[in-house]
Structure formats: C-alpha cells, structure tokens
Amino acid sequence: MTQGRHNRSVVSDAYVINLDRSTDRMRRFKEANAHLGDIRRFSAIDGAEIDRVTLEREGVISRDLKYGPGTLGCALSHVALWRATLERGRSITIFEDDAVTAEDFAEQAARIIDSLGDQWDFVLWGCYLNPSFAWIDLGATRARLHIYGVRRRNRLEIGAAVAPIKLLHAFGAFAYSLSPSGAKAAIEYCLPLRHRLITFPDAGVTITDRAQDNALCGLYPSIKAYLVLPCIAIAEAPDDASSDRLRIDRAAQMNA
C-alpha cells in the first residue's frame, strides 16, 4: 500500500464517540457531518457505571484522580480507541459527537496527512480557541492563539488555505487523527490517569489535569503533534448545557 493510499484511509477509518442513550446527539452529528459518509459509532463508556476500584487495581487510574464520572467515561472512551489503534497498527480519526466538520474535511485532511508522510503522531483538526487558547511553534518563535467574534455552530466554512502547524498545547479532543506511535505515546504518558499539575514550558502557564485533553497538553511538545489552521472542525463550547459529560459530572456532585 502506498503512503498516499494509507493516508486516505486515516480519514475514512473514523469513529465517533457516542453514549448509547444519546441518540439525539448521534442524529445531530450525522446531520451536521453527512458529507463525511459512513462514520463508525463507538459506544462510549458510561461514566455513571464505572467501577473506580477495579480501574485503580488495573492501573488505569490512580486513587487521587479528580475526574468526575462523565469526564472519566469520556477519557476511557478515548483510551480504548488509542489502544485499538496501537493493537491494529493503523492510524485512525476520532470525533466526539458534538463535532462539526468543514464540507471538504475529507479532502483537506487527506491532503494534510499526505503532506506529513510518516512524520506525525497527532493531528488536531480543531480545538477550543474561545475562551481558551492554543500554543504553537512557528520555528523562529512561538505564539499563543485566541479567536474572537461569533461562530455559527451548525456549519463551518473555511475561507483561507489550511495548513498543519507544530502544536505545543491545545484544549479539546473532539476531532483528531492519531498514528500508532501517537497512540503509544498517549497511553504511556496519560496512564494511569491521575491528579497532577501540567506546566507549559516558557508560556508561564500551569494547569490542573481535569480531563484527558488537559493531560495531552503535557504530551504534545515531546511528540510530532500538529494543529490545523484554520481549524476544519469545531465543537460546542465545553461548558455547553447539552454536554453529556458535564451533566453526568454535575449529577454525581449533587448526589455526593
């Protein structure tokens, strides 16, 4: 198989993480991303049914982990796909069910992956840039990105040339591709999921690890990670009231 054919399969071998009970979210994902064709649905791990004692015994989490059950279920769903990527030895693309992609996502993504050849581990097709930031490496200098203005949530139009930029740190894991080497690095760095502080070198930023995308912020500088700009995938804001993850977390807090 040629490199080009392999890279096109990265885009076509895609999964969307979705809870079994979240049928409306899956319907909206399909409607918003009909241009992607047939995306495989991955049955998300339900945080409300997680046995933390077993996960701790298996070395998946540490006792001090602060993730709420919804956040942990989401993280474990990503980890399961990372493990599948590593076991199969094939790169894949992962979406969360609130992702909205550009009409020409498949073509743009295939072109970008092809341009990177074998020299990539993670490619983020989008990230949270408002109110969050992203930190990128431009070679001669580094930069912090932030956006402003109103975005349409149900449609994404790209009005500029799209290119991969070396990524240092970014929040959000709602649309990305990873290679087997990226999956291996993510598993080794993130597990066991645990309470920790993550520092962004030279940026003067330290965050508490509150979700798996926070953990990945500590990994990106040491691997071949890229952020595509302009982003060709967006998602609802992380504090959106419709978030299954946050709703499960809030319910657990109320019942504590």
Residue 3 pLDDT exceeds 60: no
- Higher pLDDT pick, 58 / 147: 58
Q: What is the pLDDT of residues 136-187, one digit of tens each?
A: 999 999 999 998 875 555 566 676 689 999 999 999 999 999 999 999 999 9
Q: CA 204, CA 94: separation in Å to the nearest integer?
A: 30
Q: What is the pLDDT of residues 208-251, one digit of tens each?
A: 999 999 999 999 999 999 999 999 999 875 444 456 766 666 66
Which has the closest alpha carbon to 102: 237, 15, 222, 229? 229
- Higher pLDDT pick, 172 / 253: 172
Query: Do 83 and 187 meet the contact criterion of CB atoms below 8 Å apart?
Result: yes
CATH number for the domain that contains residue 34 = 3.90.550
What number is the average pLDDT over the span 193-213?
96
- Diameter of the chain measured on Cα atoms: 54
Domain extent at residue 111: 3-255
How many helices (H) and strands (E) in the chain?
8, 13
Tokens of 186: 């993510």
Q: Looking at the DSSP assignment, which residues form a beta bridge with residue 198?
A: 207
Q: Where are the beta strands (DSSP E) in the chain?
A: 14-18, 40-43, 92-96, 99-101, 122-124, 134-137, 142-145, 163-170, 175-178, 197-200, 205-208, 225-229, 233-235
Percent of the chain beyond pLDDT 90?
Answer: 79
Percent of the chain beyond pLDDT 70?
Answer: 85
Domain count, the chain: 1
Residue 4 pLDDT exceeds 60: no
Global pTM value? 0.90
What number is the average pLDDT over the span 184-199?
98
Round the average pLDDT of the chain to a whole number and report it.
89
Look at residue 5 in the predicted model and tell me its pLDDT. Answer: 43
Look at residue 6 in the predicted model and tell me its pLDDT. Answer: 45
